[in-house]
Amino acid sequence: MHLYLHVPFCARRCGYCDFAIAVRRDVPSAEYADAVLAEWRRWRDDSRWGAFPALQTLYAGGGTPSRLAPEALHRIVEGITADRPLAPGAEVTLEANPEDVSADRARAWRAAGINRVSLGVQSFDPAVLHWMHRTHTAQDVPRAVSAIRDAGIANLSLDLIYALPAELNRDWAWDLNLALALEPDHLSLYGLTVEPHTPLGRWVDRGEVRPTSDERYVEEFLLAHARLTGAGFRHYEVSNYAWPGREAVHNAAYWRRAPYLGLGPSAHSAVGDRRWWNVREWAAWSHAIQGGASGVAGEERLEPAAVAVEDLYLGLRTDGGVPLDAIGAPLVRSWLDAGWASQAGGRLRLTAEGWLRLDALVAQAAG
Ligand code: SF4
């Protein structure tokens, strides 16, 4: 059993972000902790979780979980693990923004049981951070990394965004070098996507920003692949790189379709072919939970055909790949000939060139 907590609070909305967030200057930490623990109590004895005596991972994502008061975080972890203990060596992750990290906070997170931090860096270029509406400076990043390590949190992941509009003149190789100099255990790299109903979506609609070209996207994806695998990282999932042994256990649970429970506004949960999701907005979710109602907004049961397509998609996005016989022999041959896949040990794995075409290849295989 894996547990996800969605902590929705952010200082302001970044230009590209369409996540379920609540912009708050003062974070209602105690109210959030009360509501999330009340939601946990609704679920902890549900028969779906009976077979899982311990939590394999706990992940606080957002939003910006590092804005939550450490005492509230401590209370949440303590409350949940009193009912369902963490398995030995369980991964307990907190997503943090660099400006929120201080020596005191990092020590408090460690005391609350956090043993992995995923830091939202995105870039070290001040102009890029400003354009993104990020609230941290480039100098905040090394300070945050030192505070996290000094507090005894050894497992550190950095998030970066690539494929930015050409007019920003972002030097992707320079950003990668600065990230590597901090010696992270793990890196998550995401290509910028233009989502409707975001500031970026509106800038693009008004013609003020031009999304990056496909060529630049491909160039930066392959540059990162070459640079990071050359430095010893394993490119183990289309967007994720890890030092061997530091692969994200929580994220891998999603890719294996392991059972997970999500708490908090907009959180998703899944067991087998059943999945459900919570009310998206913080105020509505909190109101429902505090009124003794369920926070669930909807649910679905996947048909076997949809499960098969999802298995294909999840398998191909990781370097574990899929069994060779999951895909027709002529298609396998054409992917191998094109350099989009490799085969070994009875499995087919996409190459970096293949991952650039992931959606199209899954559609071919499923069609
Ligand atoms: S900090 Fe993260 S969740 Fe919050 S607005 Fe920015 S990208 Fe979105």
Q: Determine the residue of 14, 122, 198 to mutate for testing ligand 1's pocket, defined as the one with the most ligand atoms within 8 A of the Cβ atom.
A: 14
What percent of the chain is predicted at pLDDT more than 70?
Answer: 100
pLDDT for 282 equals 98
Q: Evaluate: CB of 65 within 6 angstroms of ligand 1.
A: no
Residues 5-27 have a mean pLDDT of 96
**For ligand 1, atom 5, which residue shows the shortest CA distance?**
13
- For 131, residues 6+ apart whose C-beta sits below 8 A from its C-beta are 15, 168
pLDDT for 49 equals 82
Q: Determine the residue of 7, 17, 134, 135 to mutate for testing ligand 1's pocket, defined as the one with the most ligand atoms within 8 A of the Cβ atom.
A: 17
CA of 207 to the centre of ligand 1 (A): 24
CA of 120 to the centre of ligand 1 (A): 9
Q: How many CA atoms lie less than 13 Å away from 103 in the CB half-sphere?
A: 1
Residues 244-259 have a mean pLDDT of 96
What are residue 251's DSSP bridge partners? Answer: none
| Type of residue numbered 279 | V
pLDDT for 163 equals 98
Residues 80-97 have a mean pLDDT of 97
Show the tokens assigned to 278: 């919570």
Q: Evaluate: CB of 347 within 6 angstroms of ligand 1.
A: no
pLDDT for 47 equals 86
- The Cα–Cα gap between 239 and 254 comes to 14
CA of 67 to the centre of ligand 1 (A): 12
- For 138, residues 6+ apart whose C-beta sits below 8 A from its C-beta are 123, 124, 125, 126, 129
What percent of the chain is predicted at pLDDT more than 90?
Answer: 96
pLDDT for 150 equals 98
Q: Is the pLDDT of residue 50 over 90?
A: no
Q: Evaluate: CB of 21 within 6 angstroms of ligand 1.
A: yes
pLDDT for 53 equals 86
pLDDT for 3 equals 97
What are residue 172's DSSP bridge partners? Answer: none
Q: Is the pLDDT of residue 367 over 90?
A: no
pLDDT for 364 equals 94
**What are the CA-CA distances from residue 193 to residues 160, 198, 213, 295 (Å)?**
13, 11, 12, 29
Q: Evaluate: CB of 64 within 6 angstroms of ligand 1.
A: yes
pLDDT one-digit tens code per residue, 178-198: 999 999 999 999 999 999 999
Q: Is the pLDDT of residue 267 over 90?
A: yes
- The Cα–Cα gap between 28 and 72 comes to 10
- The Cα–Cα gap between 187 and 160 comes to 8
Q: Evaluate: CB of 62 within 6 angstroms of ligand 1.
A: yes
Q: What angle do CA 207, 209, 213 make, to 5 degrees?
A: 110
Q: Evaluate: CB of 24 within 6 angstroms of ligand 1.
A: no
| Type of residue numbered 258 | A
Would you say 85 and 29 are in contact if contact means Cβ atoms under 8 Å apart? Answer: no
Q: Evaluate: CB of 63 within 6 angstroms of ligand 1.
A: yes
Mean pLDDT of the chain: 96
- For 178, residues 6+ apart whose C-beta sits below 8 A from its C-beta are 124
CA of 147 to the centre of ligand 1 (A): 22
Q: Is the pLDDT of residue 143 over 90?
A: yes
Q: Determine the residue of 6, 7, 21, 132 to mutate for testing ligand 1's pocket, defined as the one with the most ligand atoms within 8 A of the Cβ atom.
A: 21
- The Cα–Cα gap between 176 and 237 comes to 18
**For ligand 1, atom 6, which residue shows the shortest CA distance?**
14
Least Cα distance to 214 among 352, 359, 356 occurs for: 356
**For ligand 1, atom 8, which residue shows the shortest CA distance?**
17
pLDDT for 259 equals 94
